[in-house]
Structure 1
Amino acid sequence: MQPLRDAELGAFTFFASPLPHDVCGSNGLPLTPNSIKILGRFQILKTITHPRLCQYVDISRGKHERLVVVAEHYEHNLKDLFKQDKPVSSEKVLQIAYEMLEGLAFMNKHGLVHRALSPHNVLLDCKGKVKLAKFGLYHMTDHGADVDFPIGYPSYLPPEVIAQGSFHSSEGSLGEPPLPSGPKADVWSLGVLLFELCAGRQLLQNIEISERLKFIITLGCMDDIVTVLAEEHGCLDIIKELPENVMALLRKCLTFLPSKRPTPAELLEDIVFEGVSCLYTPYQIPVSLFSSSLRCAHLELPEDINELCKVDEEDYLSERSVDEVYHLWCLAGGDLEKELTNKGIIQSKPPVCTLPNFILEDGESFGQSRDRSFLLDDTTVTLSLCQLKNRLKDVAGEAYYPLLEDEQSSLPQSNSNNELSAAVSLPLIIRERDTEYQLTRIVLFDRLLKAYPYKKNQIWKEARVDIPPLLRGLAWAALLGVEGDIQAKYDGIDKDTPIPTDRQIEVDIPRCHQYDELLSSPQGHIKFRRVLKAWVVSHPDLVYWQGLDSLCAPFLYLNFNNEALAYACMSAFIPKYLYNFFLKDNSHVIQEYLTVFSQMIAFHDPELSNHLNEIGFIPDLYAIPWFLTMFTHVFPLHKIFHLWDTLLLGNSSFPFCIGVAILQQLRDRLLANGFNECILLFSDLPEIDIERCVRESINLFCWTPKSATYRQHAQPPKPTGDSSSSFGKNPAYYSAEYQDLPNTDLSREPLKLSELKAEISPRISAEDLIDLCELTGPAHFKTPVKRPKTVKTKIVAVDIRSSEDFNRGHIPGSINVPYSSVFGPDGEMLQSPGTNALTSYKGRVIVVLSNIMKNAATFAAHLVKVNYPRVCVLDGGMNKMKPTGLLTVPSPQI
């Protein structure tokens, strides 16, 4: 996006054609409203950036198919030159022509045609340079098929367009729509505009429409159209005085037959611009964040470095991009429809005036139709930035230029306003609507992302605070480690050849997050199909499972105009959190995952776990859609964004904590109900407080030993640990991914699925126990992480061996509760179990140690049965600890 600088934000509105309510498509679903189609096509226009084009920013959909478009705007246009009431100089005409052709040629490269050229759509910036406005109207309306008004102005339309007549989609009796216009249509419009500039006035405005059309059609019989136009409008003397190169340009533009008329790109290379083209440097398309090209290859610094720091009247906001300013304008209370209503553009009639004359029994209405004068208002309303600037007046200039190398806290300390620092403690939904706070976060993330991957660690650090919604797509890509030329890789995937999965994808897409206007648009469906198919084709060892479309939805929504980035993010996300979930036979992966989740419920909430097991409400009945889609199937997108902002900071075990946090929000209702009621409860999941869910998930994650969530079907170990999977300020026991650590003799051993299911409490590794208890030992063992002393008191090791074995050697600080003091010789429960001694330790992480794993599992199950939370078992028992040399014996009593 280009900086705002001397530009303004402008808005204009129009209506899409309404569709009949009782008609369905070939798939049996209701027809997609034309306004939704336009909204989907509009999105690509936001990526078209060129110095000769007004940047598109946003589109808003209102009632009754109303659409409001926001774009870069300038107050001056070619009409101002006509007010001088004298011909424009030849040099100025050639300059305007060349600049317009630059914009038109760039549009054509992206498959766009203006078709609405007129003096008021050719804007002029403060330096008098051309800026073409409303160049995307023809594209977004599907060449005018989705609106009931013609695109373009008869005075400037070429003969071939005039000859086609008009077509309105709501009038189906007119047959097939006309063929879309090509780039040469704009060349004729350009010729008429240049002719008027040379004549010094608008010539074709005061003629009746019928006469105007007849005259244009008759031009086909003329050899020299320029001379005929000059004679017709009494300016032949002026035209004869024009230089030869200007006359040559006019004749080439005003060529009647399109086959002989040049395209904008051809005209740019024409000899008529020989003395003009040298004054312009070719436009360099900015290098995207993820590519193989150097982003600084064309960086040029001014000779005087102080030029970089000159901002008129300290208007730092003008240096921000147009989309940033608009986003902040909305946060500061901007309302598009209100602005248009205040200027009289949106006018409402009393309901009684819009009623039809009568309605038939079948519901068809007859009567007055919509007033065509309100279908399109060509007026562009300037959006006032006063309210935004007033809101940001106390933000210091340093906030716009943060120092990235400064080792400061992640809070926005660079601002003079202390309230910004205090805002971090506010709920996330409030922070996302705070104008000043979002400004600081957007500026900071923008600079960090431009330095990616060099600043990857700092992006992780800042993401722990929050991620600004405007830059969430790129921030997620950075957190997922996306790098390289993703576009080339995506382009190299065959997304067109039919495959067996196509049918299932076609069926799933119309049901995926279709409440969202963007994803429900035809363009959204096309992009869905391409990204999903690219993933299926590029992962031949995996298959398409229902739910993959839901998993794709957040990435596609955030990167709607960058399919390659959506695909790259999805391809990085699935191995990290859903490794082997999409195998053709994934039953063993799913069952292991659900078993570990069941153990996590017992670990964190034994009372709830006991109740759910008693009524037979197992995770298989409700949790498969949760984890297979990482909760995208059960939550709307706006909640998924907040959930995944934190999920991406965790490792593959973090989804377990999210699942437990959801159950704990429903805890009271689950404990009070039986099986049938629980089934009904999860068939229509109640409202979940996502911020509370995230907060509690982090707390659960911090209390969970890393090896407790070990899965043998998780992603294989990486060469080195990834320290980025951390929640920073929180007193986490473990923050690195367990599977990322190298296997040692003290690591967990894989279990058969049947053995895993037989145990209620999770196992932890000997390495975990050593680390948790801060034990020191021989150098060949893993050096423990130094932790605050308060953490040491949060764990207790319970040795259930006999007293004799305990006295021969035990872990320092452990307590002895012999198995025989709780269970009899035949495994029966004793009347006064020895676990009463553990009452004072309730709430800590309890690690059960034994020589016999069956006894340890039984003892741990008993603790869970009597509602002891955070109970786990040492994997391998004391046999794993004996070789470490960490065991101690009681000191002899004197």
Structure 2
Amino acid sequence: MQSLRDAQIGAFTFFASPLPHDVCGSNGLPLTPNSIKILGRFQLLKTITHPRLCQYVDISRGKHERLVVVAEHYESSLKDFRKPSKPFSPEKVMQIAYQILEGLEFLNKHRMVHRALCPHNVLLDSQAAVKLAKFGLYHMTDHGADVDFPIGHPTYLAPEVIAQGSFHHSDPLFKEPRLPSGPKADVWSLGVLLFELCVGRQLLHNIDISKRLKFIITLGCMDDIVTVLAEEHGCLEAIKELPENLLTLLSKCLTFHPSKRPTPAQLLVDPVFEDISSLYVPYNKPVGLFSSLRCAHLELPENINELCKDDGEDYLAERAIDEVYYLWCLAGGDLEKELINKEIIQSKPPVCTLPNFLLEDGESFGQGRDRSFLLDDTTVTLSLCQLRNRLMDVAGEAYYPLLEDEQSNLPQSNSSNDLSTAVSLPLIIRERDTEYQLTRIVLFDRLLKAYPYKKNQVWKEARVDIPPLLRGLAWAALLGVEGDIKAKYDSIDKETPIPTDRQIEVDIPRCHQYDELLSSPQGHVKFRRVLKAWVVSHPDLVYWQGLDSLCAPFLYLNFNNEALAYACMSAFIPKYLYNFFLKDNSHVIQEYLTVFSQMIAFHDPELSNHLNEIGFIPDLYAIPWFLTMFTHVFPLHKIFHLWDTLLLGNSSFPFCIGVAILQQLRDRLLANGFNECILLFSDLPEIDIERCVRESINLFCWTPKSATYRQYAQPSKPMGENINGSFGKTSTFYTTDYQDLPKTDLLREPMKLSELKAEVSPRISAEDLIDLLELSGPVPFKTPMKRAKAGKPKILAVDIRSMEDFSRGHVTGSVNIPYSSAFGPDGELVQCPAATTLASFKGRVIVILSHALKSAAMFAAHLVKVNYPRVCILDGGINKLKATGLLTVPSPQI
């Protein structure tokens, strides 16, 4: 995006053509409104950046098919200099012509034409450089098919455009598509515009529109159109005095037959611009963040003190125009209100909007055609005063933050401003705070431009929050996306038909179609391409229903960068959904659901007992949760907040999210039976996502790393990879996956699925036990876990062997509760000193130790039955610890 600098932000509005309400498409679904189609096509315009083009920023959709477009704007235009009192010199006219052609050629490279070229759409910045405006109107309206007004001013339309006439797809006389205008139509418009600049008056301004169009058509029988126009306007002498190169340019532009008229690209290299072309440097588009090679061109002034700007410097103007508009909206900006204040939008009483009835004899009753539905070409400048007032107290240093040492583990902003108060506020408030978002956007912008060098800094700042404006790039950084992703994406065959095409076509119209962007035809096309690219590039996996929902957040955030959406999706699935999309994924799903059941029992045994009693198992409700990482059950705005945290956790974090959701529904689940629970999950109640995220982090910090071990999880990676920071200084565990730890004899061993299902409580590794008990001794490894050094111990080891076995060697700090004497005939815990100790640790992690794992599992199941939370079993039993030398024997009493 270009910076604001001396530009302004402007807005203009128009209506899309309404569609009949009782007509459906070939798929049986209602027709997509034209305003949605325009909104989808508009997104491409935001990527068109060039010094000769006004940058498009945003589009919003209002009532009755109204669209409001926001773009870079300048008050000065060629319309102001079309008077004899302000004539341009021939040299200046040639420079303007060359600059306009530069913009037109760039558009042509993107398969676009202007079609609305006229003096008031050729703006001039403070340096009198050309900026073409409204160049996207023809593209976004599908060459004018989606609106009820013609694109372009009649005086400047090329003869071939006028000859086609006005048409609309809903017109009964319209039988086949008309050819859209080509680049040469703009060259004619340029010729008329330049002619007016040379003579200092408007062409054919005293003739009504129908006569103007007829006159332009009759120019086809003239040999010298420039001379004819000059004679018509009484300025033949002025035209003859023009330099030869300018006359030649006018003649070439005003060539009647399109086949003989040059294109903008051909004119740029024409000898008429021989003296001018050397004054302009060809535009090179900046290299994107994810490319094979990229660098920043930096120029330092000779006097380094020039970098220190005055207090009155407009720092906001140095920011990208999309950032300024985003902050303008946060500061209370309202597009419709601005247009209403300028009387562009005028409300009418309902009686004035009655339809017009036509009788068989041709007589009409009612209102005539509402001219407000035609194009009002006025652009309203959005005032930034309110935004500047909001940012008045923001220090200049906030716009240029220093990036402190990467090794800092403090979860706070690196900005020079004190944001500690704002960080403690709810996320939804922080996202609407103008000053806070400014500092976060500036900071993330700097960190992302330095990615991957500042990858650790991005991780640290993401633990605070992620600014919505930069969420797409921030997610890509958190997922480790690097390299020339566009080249890889372009190399994938997305056109050849494959068997999955039919299923993708069926799923896309049902995926997050409440969102205007994803429901647009352009959204469907991009959906199809990204999904197909993933299927084709992963031949060992298959398309499962739900993959479209998984793709939706990435596509929404990277709508104009399919390659990045594909790269993020390709990095996300192996991390969180490894082998979920195998042709036969039953063993992977079943293991995942079993571990989830154990997590419910571990964190909320009362709820687990109730759900098991009524037979409401995770298979009935949780498969869509995990197969789509909750994108199938939550709207996008909730998914964004949920995934901001999910991407900071490892592959076990989704278990904690699932438990947190159940705990929000806990009271209703405990009060209902099987049928009521089924109905409850068929239409999931409103979930507080911020609370869900907060509780998920707490559950994650209480869960031993090895408790969520899965045999079918992603294989281990070499040490040093995927070592990310924790959720914050209060976190107990790192976010590395358990599978990423160095292999030792103290890790968990794989077990059969049938054995896993038979156990209510999860197992933990001997390594986890040693770390959580903070035992010291000849341990042949270094644990990467963080421990809570202060406060009460979070774990109690319960040795259920006989007293004799316990006395021969036990873990320091463990208590002995023999299994044979622990429970009464009714399953209650027998009162004894050890049981009292056990009760005092209720709520903290309890690890059951035994020789026999079967008895340990039964003991743990009894504790869960009496609602003891956080109960787990030592994998491998007490024998795992014998080789460590950590078993102690009590000294004989003297």
Say yes or no: TM over 0.5.
yes
CA deviation after TM superposition for structure 1 residue 783, in Å: 4.9
Q: Which residue of 1 aligns with 2:696?
A: 697
Give percent identity, aligned residues only. 84
Asked if structure 2 preserves the Cα contact closer than 8 Å seen for 1:157 and 1:188, the reply is: yes
Q: Secondary structure at the match of 1:258?
A: coil
The residue correspondences of 1:477-626 to structure 2 (distance < 5 A) are 477-626=476-625
Q: Secondary structure at the match of 1:76?
A: coil
Report the TM-score when normalising by structure 2. 0.97
Q: Secondary structure at the match of 2:492?
A: coil
Q: Secondary structure at the match of 1:259?
A: coil
CA deviation after TM superposition for structure 1 residue 379, in Å: 0.3
Q: Secondary structure at the match of 2:377?
A: strand
CA deviation after TM superposition for structure 1 residue 589, in Å: 0.2
Cα distance change of structure 1 residues 269 and 433 upon mapping to structure 2, 3 Å threshold:
same
Q: Which residue of 2 aligns with 1:750?
A: 750
Q: Which residue of 1 aligns with 2:793?
A: 793
- Between the aligned partners of 1:563 and 1:606, the Cα distance in structure 2 is 45
Supply the RMSD in Å over aligned alpha carbons: 1.8
Q: Aligned pair 1:353/2:333, yes or no?
A: no
Asked if structure 1 preserves the Cα contact closer than 8 Å seen for 2:113 and 2:182, the reply is: yes
Q: Secondary structure at the match of 1:790?
A: coil
Q: Secondary structure at the match of 2:437?
A: helix
Cα distance change of structure 1 residues 725 and 647 upon mapping to structure 2, 3 Å threshold:
farther
CA deviation after TM superposition for structure 1 residue 308, in Å: 4.6
CA deviation after TM superposition for structure 1 residue 828, in Å: 8.6
Q: Aligned pair 1:730/2:736, yes or no?
A: no
Q: Secondary structure at the match of 1:163?
A: helix
CA deviation after TM superposition for structure 1 residue 206, in Å: 2.6
Q: Which residue of 2 aligns with 1:276?
A: 276
Q: Aligned pair 1:428/2:427, yes or no?
A: yes
Cα distance change of structure 1 residues 784 and 176 upon mapping to structure 2, 3 Å threshold:
closer
Q: Secondary structure at the match of 1:474?
A: helix
- Between the aligned partners of 2:525 and 2:531, the Cα distance in structure 1 is 10
Q: Secondary structure at the match of 2:72?
A: strand
Q: Secondary structure at the match of 1:59?
A: strand
Deviations 1:832-877 (A, max 9, x none): 3667331111111000000000000000000000000000000000
Q: Which residue of 1 aligns with 2:444?
A: 445
- Between the aligned partners of 1:104 and 1:454, the Cα distance in structure 2 is 38
Q: Where do 5+ consecutive residues of structure 2 fail to align?
A: none
- Between the aligned partners of 2:159 and 2:53, the Cα distance in structure 1 is 26
Q: Which residue of 2 aligns with 1:832?
A: 830
Cα distance change of structure 1 residues 793 and 517 upon mapping to structure 2, 3 Å threshold:
same
Asked if structure 1 preserves the Cα contact closer than 8 Å seen for 2:157 and 2:188, the reply is: yes
Q: Where do 5+ consecutive residues of structure 1 fail to align?
A: none
Q: Secondary structure at the match of 1:490?
A: helix
Q: Aligned pair 1:819/2:819, yes or no?
A: yes
Cα distance change of structure 1 residues 760 and 402 upon mapping to structure 2, 3 Å threshold:
same
Q: Aligned pair 1:411/2:412, yes or no?
A: yes
Q: Which shifted more, 640-649 or 202-211?
A: 202-211
Q: Which shifted more, 214-223 or 126-135?
A: 214-223
Asked if structure 1 preserves the Cα contact closer than 8 Å seen for 2:411 and 2:728, the reply is: no
CA deviation after TM superposition for structure 1 residue 754, in Å: 0.3
Asked if structure 2 preserves the Cα contact closer than 8 Å seen for 1:395 and 1:415, the reply is: no
Deviations 1:672-697 (A, max 9, x none): 00000000000000000000000000
Q: Which residue of 2 aligns with 1:8?
A: 8
Q: Which shifted more, 245-254 or 733-742?
A: 733-742
Q: Secondary structure at the match of 1:80?
A: helix
* Paired AA for residue 279 in structure 2: L
Q: Secondary structure at the match of 1:379?
A: coil
Asked if structure 1 preserves the Cα contact closer than 8 Å seen for 2:113 and 2:135, the reply is: yes
- Between the aligned partners of 2:731 and 2:372, the Cα distance in structure 1 is 64
- Between the aligned partners of 2:506 and 2:864, the Cα distance in structure 1 is 45
CA deviation after TM superposition for structure 1 residue 829, in Å: 4.8
Asked if structure 1 preserves the Cα contact closer than 8 Å seen for 2:342 and 2:380, the reply is: yes
- Between the aligned partners of 1:312 and 1:184, the Cα distance in structure 2 is 50
Asked if structure 2 preserves the Cα contact closer than 8 Å seen for 1:704 and 1:734, the reply is: no
The residue correspondences of 1:456-471 to structure 2 (distance < 5 A) are 456-471=455-470
Q: Which residue of 1 aligns with 2:401?
A: 402
Asked if structure 2 preserves the Cα contact closer than 8 Å seen for 1:49 and 1:55, the reply is: yes
- Between the aligned partners of 2:416 and 2:206, the Cα distance in structure 1 is 57
Asked if structure 1 preserves the Cα contact closer than 8 Å seen for 2:732 and 2:785, the reply is: no
Asked if structure 1 preserves the Cα contact closer than 8 Å seen for 2:411 and 2:729, the reply is: no
- Between the aligned partners of 1:94 and 1:470, the Cα distance in structure 2 is 41
- Between the aligned partners of 1:357 and 1:528, the Cα distance in structure 2 is 41
- Between the aligned partners of 2:571 and 2:669, the Cα distance in structure 1 is 36
CA deviation after TM superposition for structure 1 residue 307, in Å: 4.6
Asked if structure 1 preserves the Cα contact closer than 8 Å seen for 2:402 and 2:414, the reply is: no
CA deviation after TM superposition for structure 1 residue 302, in Å: 4.2
Asked if structure 2 preserves the Cα contact closer than 8 Å seen for 1:24 and 1:31, the reply is: yes
Cα distance change of structure 1 residues 455 and 597 upon mapping to structure 2, 3 Å threshold:
same
The residue correspondences of 1:64-103 to structure 2 (distance < 5 A) are 64-85=64-85, 87-103=87-103
The residue correspondences of 1:244-259 to structure 2 (distance < 5 A) are 244-259=244-259
> Structure 1 residue runs of 4+, over 6 Å off?
none
* Paired AA for residue 412 in structure 2: L
Q: Secondary structure at the match of 2:394?
A: coil
Asked if structure 1 preserves the Cα contact closer than 8 Å seen for 2:734 and 2:784, the reply is: no
CA deviation after TM superposition for structure 1 residue 588, in Å: 0.2
- Between the aligned partners of 1:280 and 1:311, the Cα distance in structure 2 is 32
CA deviation after TM superposition for structure 1 residue 22, in Å: 0.4
Cα distance change of structure 1 residues 271 and 435 upon mapping to structure 2, 3 Å threshold:
same
Cα distance change of structure 1 residues 735 and 489 upon mapping to structure 2, 3 Å threshold:
closer
Q: Secondary structure at the match of 2:568?
A: helix
Q: Which residue of 2 aligns with 1:662?
A: 661
Q: Which residue of 2 aligns with 1:648?
A: 647
Q: Aligned pair 1:48/2:76, yes or no?
A: no
* Paired AA for residue 102 in structure 2: E
Q: Which residue of 2 aligns with 1:322?
A: 321
- Between the aligned partners of 2:573 and 2:366, the Cα distance in structure 1 is 56
CA deviation after TM superposition for structure 1 residue 222, in Å: 1.3
- Between the aligned partners of 2:823 and 2:692, the Cα distance in structure 1 is 39
CA deviation after TM superposition for structure 1 residue 774, in Å: 1.2
* Paired AA for residue 431 in structure 2: E
Cα distance change of structure 1 residues 358 and 241 upon mapping to structure 2, 3 Å threshold:
closer
Q: Secondary structure at the match of 1:71?
A: strand
Asked if structure 1 preserves the Cα contact closer than 8 Å seen for 2:288 and 2:294, the reply is: no
Deviations 1:385-422 (A, max 9, x none): 00000000000000000001357755346455x5x431
Deviations 1:685-729 (A, max 9, x none): 000000000000000000000000000000000101533152022
CA deviation after TM superposition for structure 1 residue 311, in Å: 6.7
Deviations 1:165-208 (A, max 9, x none): 00123423333342100111000000111111111121222311
Q: Secondary structure at the match of 1:551?
A: helix
Asked if structure 1 preserves the Cα contact closer than 8 Å seen for 2:401 and 2:416, the reply is: no
Q: Which residue of 2 aligns with 1:390?
A: 389
Query: How many equivalent residue pairs?
Result: 885
CA deviation after TM superposition for structure 1 residue 788, in Å: 3.7
Cα distance change of structure 1 residues 330 and 239 upon mapping to structure 2, 3 Å threshold:
same
Asked if structure 2 preserves the Cα contact closer than 8 Å seen for 1:774 and 1:784, the reply is: no
The residue correspondences of 1:27-426 to structure 2 (distance < 5 A) are 27-85=27-85, 87-296=87-296, 298-310=297-309, 313-356=312-355, 367-368=366-367, 370-405=369-404, 409-412=410-413, 414-416=415-417, 418=418, 420-426=419-425
